[in-house]
Amino acid sequence: MFNKRDDAPASTYQPAAATARRTNGSSGAGFSVIGPDVVVTGNVRASADLHIEGRVEGDLDCGSLVVGTEALIQGQVRAENARIAGRIEGAVSIRQLTVEAGARITGDVEYETIAIENGASIDGRLKHVAVDAGSRSFERPAPTSAPDITLVSSSEAAA
C-alpha cells in the first residue's frame, strides 16, 4: 500500500528523546520539553522527565530535570536528579544535582550528592542530606490541590 517497496531497507531512525531515555538511566516514563519560546505561568508537576529551555514562573516538581543554558525557573524546584545549565530563582531540593559552568541558582539548595563545575554560581545556603539519614525531604508530597499544569507521557495519555 502507498507504493511501499518490499526491497526497501527497514528504517533505523530513533528519536533523540527515546535514545536519551535509554542512556540517562531515567524511568522510561517519557520525555517532555518546554521550548525556548514557551513561558509557563503556574506550577508544573511532571511524571515524565522534563527538559526546560524556556521559562517557568511557578514551582516545579518532576523526576528528572534538565535546565538549558537560556532557561529560567522562578519558583521552588523539587526533583530526583537534575542537570542545571540555566538560572533558578528559588529554593532547590534535588537528590543528585549537577550545576554546570554558567549556571546560576539564587536560593537555598538541599541535595544528597552535588557536582558544581567551575564558573557556576550558587547564591544561597547549601544543605547536605545524608543518604542514610532517612530524610524524606526529596520525596514529593501528595498534592493538596491539583497542579496548574500536569505533563504526562504519551503512553499515559493513551491509557
pLDDT in tens, 81-116: 999 999 999 999 999 999 999 999 999 999 999 999
Using CA atoms in the order 33, 54, 122, 127, what is the torsion angle rounded to 10 degrees?
-40
Total-model pTM: 0.69
Cα–Cα nearest to 84, from 114, 46, 57: 114
Boundaries of every domain in the chain: 29-151
pLDDT of residue 156: 58
3-state DSSP assignment of residue 132 = helix
pLDDT of residue 30: 82
Partners of residue 79 on adjacent β-strands: 62, 94
State how far the Cα of 3 lies from the Cα of 151, in Å rounded to an integer.
38
In the chain, which stretches have pLDDT less than 70?
A: 1-29, 132-159
pLDDT of residue 48: 81
